[in-house]
Chain A
Amino acid sequence: MTAHTFAYLSNDLVYSAMATLTLALLAFSAELAFGDRGRVARTSRLTVHRVPVAAAVGAGAAPVDVDTPDVAEPSEVDLPESTRSAKFGGIGFALTVLSFVLLLAAVVFRGLAAGRAPWGNMYEFSLASALVVTGAYVIAVWRRPVLRLLGVFIVVPVLLTLGLAVTVLYVDAGPLVPALKSYWLVIHVAAAIISGGIFTLGGAVTVLYLLQERWERRGISNSLSRRLPESEQLDRTAYRLFAFVFPLWTFAIVAGAIWAENAWGRYWGWDPKETWALVTWVVFAGYLHARATAGWKGRRAAMIALLGLSAFLFNYFGVNIFFTGLHSYGGLPNK
C-alpha cells in the first residue's frame, strides 16, 4: 500500500470512530435517561454488588467493606447489570472500546502515511489526544467499572475534538517543517498528549465529584447520584489521576525546554505556549498543595483542578489558534 492509501484509510477510520462514538454517546445518554432503577433492581442490589467489588479492590481501590451487611450504602458497588439502563451503559462502553480501536488504527495509519510520529500538527495532535482520552477512559473502566458512568463526559469532548479536527484543523499527511524534525517531537509531544488525556479524564471525574458532593450535601437523590460512587471516592480517583499526571506534565515541559534549547538557543523564552504550560503547571501545583491544606480540601481543591484543566485546554486550542508564537505550527494556511 502506498502512503496515499494509508492516508485515506486513516481518514476513513477517523470518520468511523466518530460514528461509533456518536452511537456510544446515544447509549450513554440513554443510560442516564433510563437511570432510575425499578424496585426489582433495587432489591437485587445486594445480590449483584459483590462481583464488581472484587475487581475494584484488586485494582488497589480504596477500602470497601464487603463483609458487613449493614454497610450497604450505595458505594462503588452499584452497577446493577440486569437493568435496562445498565445495558445501555454496557453498549456505550463496548462502542467506546471499538472507537478506541478505530482511532488507534487511524493514528497508526496516519503515521505510516506521513512516515513519522503522527503528531506533527494540530490535526494529528487532536487525533492523538482523542485516542489518549478514550484509552485512558477504557483503562479506567477496566480497573474500576463504576467509572463507566463517566461515559458522556468523555465522549462529548472527544467528539468535539475530532469534529474540530476534521473540519477546521485538517491537513494532508506530509513531512514536517524543519523546526519539528527532532526526536524531541516524539518525546515532548507524546508526553503532552498523554498528559492532556489524563487531565481531561481527571476533569470529568472532578465534575462528577462536584455534582455528587453537592447532592450529598443537600440530601438530593437522583438517578445519577444513586449510581455514582460516594463523592469522597470520586475525589480520591480524581486526585490519583492528577497526582499521576503532574510529574508527566512536568516532564513534558522539561522535555520541551530541552528541545527549545536545542532549536532556539534558550530553554525558556516566555512564548505563549510555554507561558500557559507553566500556568497549568502552577495551578496544578496549587491543587496538590490545596489537597494538603485544611480548609482547601474537597470542593475548593476541585475548583482549582478545573481551573488548571481550563488553562490546559486554553493552551491547547486558544494559543495555537489565536496567538502567533513559536508554537503556531498548526499547519493551517496563513490568512
Chain B
Amino acid sequence: MTVNPPMSETPENDDVLLESTTLSTQPAAVQPPSGFGPRSLLRWAWRQLTSMRTALLLLFLLALAAVPGSLLPQQGNAPADVADWISRHGALGRLFERLSLFHVYSSPWFAAVYLLLFVSLIGCVVPRTRLHWRALRSRPPASPRNLSRLPVTRSFTTTATPQEVLDAAHRSLRRRRFRVDRLVGSVAAEKGYFRETGNLVFHLALVALLVGVAIGALYGTRGSAIVVEGSGFANTVTRYDSFSAGPLANPQRLDPFSFTLNKFSASYQEGGKQNGAPRSFTADVTVQDSPTATPRSQVVQVNEPLVVGGTKVFLVGHGYAPVVTVRDGEGRVVFSDAVPFLPRDGMFTSTGVIKAPDARPTQLGFQGIFLPTASIDPVRGPLSTFPAANDPALFLSLWKGDLGLDTGAAQSVYRLDVSRMTRVGLEAMRPGESWTLPDGLGTITFDGIKQYAALSIAQDPGKGIALGSVVVAIAGLLLSLFVPRCRVWVRATADDEGTTLVEIGGLARTEAGGLESEVDALRSDLPDEAAPGAREPIEEYR
C-alpha cells in the first residue's frame, strides 16, 4: 500500500488521469480565436462566455451588484426614503438615480449580470448534459496500462487463476453498484454517475427558478389597502390604495372576492424592556369568495393570510382611525367618517388629516395627532406612551381657506396643502368631546375610535414553479456534492511461477472521499488462493 507521488511522466491513458485533476467533465480550456472572421470570433466569444472562469466572474459580479441595493434606500421598499436621500445629496442623488441605484434589482445592469450568468450557465450545462448522456450509455474507460500510477493502488499475488480473480472482482464491483466492463485481462468499473446528474439537475432547476420568478413578475399583481373596522373591501383595482401589476397581468380579471373587517384586535407587552412590543394582531373578517358565494368567517393574522383562489391577503400593519363629525358654520354635517391616521412610532403616535371641502363659509382642514395613550413630552410635544388605546386623545389644528382640491391635481389624503390656508385654532379632545370652532366656522365632534388593518393583497402565478424548482435544485445539489464518483480497475496477470499478479487501481473523481475503503473492500473480496472448483466465467468480453 503506497500513496503515490505526483505523476512525473505522461501517463499512458491521458484522458483518464487528466480528468482527475479537473474533477469534472467540463470541456478543455478556452483557445484564443483562430481567425478574425465573424464566425470564429463568435465561437470564441461563446466559448469565453460559457467557460467556468467567466461563470466565476459573473457570480462575483452578481454578488457585488446586489450590494448597493442593500445600502441605499430602494424605490420598491421605501419610496419616501429615496426622495429624501436624493434631496439631501443633490447632484450625487441625481447621478445615483440615473444609474438606477434606487431600483437596483430592476435595473438594466443588474438584469444584464444575471441574464449573462444564466446564458453562461445554459451554455455550460447543455454540452455537459450531452457528454453525461453519452457517458451514461457508454462503458467505463478502459484500464490504463500502468495501474500503479493511480492515486490508490493495491497489489498482491494469489494462486487463483486470472479468470477467477476477475470474476470475483466483477461480482464484487457489481454488488457495490459499480458499472462494470469486462476486458481482456482486466475489469474496468465506475460509479457515482448521479453526481453529475445532480449537478446538471441543480443548474437546470435554477433556470426553472428564473422562469418561475419571471412568470411572477410578468403576470403577478400586488397592492395594498387600508380597511377600517366595519367596512369592506372588494378585490377590484379601484379599491386598492396602491396597486402594481406585471406587464402581462390583466387587472380587470382579479379574483372576484370581497370581505368585511368585523373587528381588529391587538395586544402588547406591558412593562419591561420591551414595553409596548406587539404580541398579537387578529383581524376577524367575513369573506365572500365570489359575489354569489355564501359568506364565511375567518381570522386573519400575521403569518396566517386569507387565501381566496390564487390571491392571498396578508395582514401587514394596523393603526387607529378616529371617527369625527364636522358641522360647518351653517350647521350642516359636511364630514362624518373614520379617518385612518398613520402611526409615526412604535407607540402609535399617529398623524392624519381631515378635509371638509363642502364647508361654508370657507373650506376647512384639520391636521391631527392621535395618541392612543396620551402624554405631553416637554420637548417633543404630544406623544403616545403605549400602543393600546388606554387613554386616547386627539390633537387638532384647524386651517381655513382653499384646500386646493379644485386644481385637479391628485392630493394625498394624509397631507394638507396649507399654501392657501391660514391656521385659526388648536384643540385637544377626548372621545365624545366637541369643539366649537372659532369665528363661527362650525363644530367638530370626536365620536370615537376605530382600528384599521393595513393589508397587502398579492397573487403570484409563478411561485409554484419557483418552489418546485428550488426543491429540485436542493435535491440535485445534495447529489452533486455528496455522491462520490470514482473509477476502479483490476488487472490479473499470470506470472511465470504459476501464480497470478493482481493489481487494483482506484481514481477518485471527486473530493468526497471513501475511495480507499471502496478499494479495500474490493480487495477483501478477491481470492487469495485458488478455489476448489472452477466457477462459471462471466461472458462479457469487449
Contact = CB atoms under 8 A, between A and B. Distances in A.
Asked if chains A and B come from one complex, the reply is: yes
Interface of A: 57, 60-63, 65, 67-68, 71, 171-172, 174-179, 181-182, 184, 236, 239-240, 243-244, 246-247, 250-251, 254, 257-259, 261-272, 275-276, 278-279, 282-283, 285-286, 288-296, 311, 319, 323, 325, 331, 333-334
Nearest to A283: B63
Nearest to A263: B303
Interchain residue pairs A-B with the least CB separation, the first 6: A265-B458, A178-B302, A272-B70, A286-B59, A275-B70, A182-B303
A259 B222 CA distance: 18
A265 to B, nearest CB: 4
A257 B474 CA distance: 14
Interface stretch (B38-46, B270-278, B402-410): B270-278
Most buried by B among A264, A282, A290: A282
A182 B304 CA distance: 9
B456 A289 contact: no
B244 to A, nearest CB: 12
A282 B279 contact: no
Interface stretch (B23-31, B226-234, B424-432): B23-31
Contacts of B29: 294
B511 interface: yes
B60 A283 contact: yes
A315 to B, nearest CB: 9
A236 B514 CA distance: 13
B75 to A, nearest CB: 11
A265 B56 contact: no
Contacts of B482: 243
Contacts of A262: 303, 305
A194 to B, nearest CB: 15
Given A65-B2, A292-B22, A294-B22, A174 B314 contact: no
A269 B151 CA distance: 49
Nearest to A61: B513
Contacts of A251: 474
Given A240-B511, A262-B303, A286 B60 contact: yes
Given A275-B69, A279-B63, A270 B105 contact: yes
A331 B77 contact: no
Contact of A289 (B52, B104, B312): B52
B466 A177 contact: no
B67 interface: yes
Contacts of B473: 250
B222 A269 contact: no
A254 B222 CA distance: 21
Nearest to B515: A63
Contact of A171 (B151, B273, B470): B273
A244 B513 CA distance: 13
Given A174-B274, A292-B26, A261 B302 contact: no
A114 B514 CA distance: 44
Nearest to B302: A178
Nearest to B105: A270
Given A265-B305, A285-B59, A331 B463 contact: no
A311 B29 CA distance: 31
A292 B23 contact: yes
Interface in B293-308: 301-303, 305
Given A171-B273, A282-B59, A60 B481 contact: no
A36 B448 CA distance: 80
6 contacts: A178-B279, A178-B281, A283-B60, A291-B23, A292-B22, A292-B52
Contacts of B105: 270
A217 to B, nearest CB: 16
Contact of B274 (A71, A295, A331): A331
Nearest to B303: A182
Interface in B9-26: 21-24, 26
A327 to B, nearest CB: 11
B222 A265 contact: yes
Contacts of B24: 292
Nearest to A278: B66
A24 B456 CA distance: 51
A239 B511 contact: yes
B237 interface: no
B536 interface: no
Interface in B40-97: 52-53, 55-56, 59-60, 62-63, 66-67, 69-70, 74, 76-77
B61 to A, nearest CB: 9
B478 A247 contact: yes
Q: Which of A257, A263, A333 has the most CB of B within 10 A?
A: A263
B426 to A, nearest CB: 28
B3 A247 contact: no
A261 B456 contact: no
Contacts of B63: 278-279, 282-283, 286, 311
Contacts of B328: none
A276 B345 contact: no
B152 interface: yes
A320 to B, nearest CB: 13
Contacts of B2: 65, 68
B274 A293 contact: no
B474 A254 contact: yes
Contacts of B62: 282
Contact of B314 (A61, A258, A265): A265
Contacts of A257: 470
A174 B269 contact: yes
A265 B281 CA distance: 17
Interface string B468-483: 0011011001100110
Given A172-B272, A296-B56, A266 B26 contact: no
B316 interface: yes
Interface string B486-528: 0000000000000000000000000101101100000000000
Interface centre among A184, A250, A263, A265 (most CB of B within 10 A): A265
Interface string B277-294: 111110000000000000
Given A275-B66, A286-B59, A289-B52, 20 more contacts: A62-B513, A171-B273, A172-B272, A177-B277, A178-B301, A178-B303, A179-B302, A243-B511, A244-B481, A246-B481, A254-B471, A254-B474, A263-B303, A264-B314, A264-B456, A266-B458, A275-B67, A275-B70, A296-B53, A296-B56
A25 to B, nearest CB: 31
B3 A65 contact: yes
B440 interface: no
A236 B510 CA distance: 11
Contacts of A271: 77
A250 B511 CA distance: 21
A179 B52 contact: no
Contacts of A236: 511
A261 B26 contact: no
B273 A290 contact: no
A312 to B, nearest CB: 12
Contacts of A263: 302-303, 314
